[in-house]
Amino acid sequence: MNLEIKPTGATVGANKAYITGIMREWRTTPNPGANAEPLALYEVNLDGSDRFRRLVEIQKDQSPALLNPQTKKMVFGGFVSNNKYVVSIYDVSTWKLLRSWELGQTHCPNCVPASYGWLADGDRSFFNLDLEDDQSNSHDVPGTYLTAENGTDLGGIPMHAGQLQLPGYNREEEANPSLLGQLRDGDYLFRDLGLKKGPLPKPPIAPESFLVITGPDFKSKKQIPLQKVGISSFYLSPSGQYMAYVEERQISNYRAERH
């Protein structure tokens, strides 16, 4: 009961979850009060045994830990000293550190990783880079970039990849499509934003979310309107058949509920 967890993170089937947690306990000496360990990544068994183990301490602004499609490796990134963004890859079975490297920002020096994930082969990763605080210069090229497991820069995907092309909608020109993952057949799944054509709605104006599936050549094959706003935290299942997301749903008193 002393382990407090956040209900987000990767799962291995119905057996284990990898989540951010903090261990708290009440101490009477030397000073009465609640004592807490630093935030850490925990492996929690979901078989009713209540077993769990502490894996590694969470870094500053650490992003969620994500399993590769084969559920053999785990990747996460976070800012360390000198504001460097370091990517770490672990072996899930032994929890040994396989690779650790600084994410190069040569394509967009003023960008930060907005999201990331694995490609279908389970060895390469992708990073969606967005500008930080609207600071930009001629050398900044936001977009989606690929890396090998050892951190080697494999270049970016075409800028047009994943762009919404649905009749009756205008895509959000200022936003870049975000790569959500690669399906087992080699297709890519993107999220893009768009507004219905016609008179603009009353402020605040919020674009709708769309899923765009492209082939390995990045040509659009299917576009799926989600008809929702305020969507974040997309998670593609290892099989590539299912996707989960979080929606900030506004209720009658103008507060937001997470669904």
pTM across the whole model: 0.85
At residue 9, does pLDDT exceed 90?
no
Q: Assess whether pLDDT exceeds 90 at residue 205.
A: no
172 exposed, middle or buried (CB, 10 Å; 0-12, 13-18, 19+)? middle
Same domain, 104 and 40: no
Element (H, E) at 109: none
Cα 173 to Cα 108, 110, 148, 253: the distances in Å are 19, 20, 30, 32
- Domain span at residue 151 reads 64-156
Domain count, the chain: 3
Of 105, 139, 156, which marks where a domain is finished? 156
pLDDT tens digits, 178-193: 999 999 999 999 999 9
Can you read off the two tokens belonging to residue 212?
């765009």
Q: Could you say which of 131, 156, 181 is where a domain stops? A: 156
Percent of the chain with pLDDT over 70: 97
**Torsion-angle region of residue 198: left (phi > 0), alpha (psi -120 to 50) or beta?**
left
In this prediction, residue 138 has a pLDDT band, given cuts at 50, 70 and 90, of low
- 101 in the same domain as 149: yes
For all residues of the chain together, what is the average pLDDT? 88
Q: Strand order of the sheet with strand 73-79?
A: 66-67, 73-79, 85-91, 97-102
**Cα separation, 6 vs 111, whole angstroms:** 27
pLDDT in tens, 82-93: 778 899 999 998
- Based on the domain organization, do 141 and 207 belong to the same domain? no
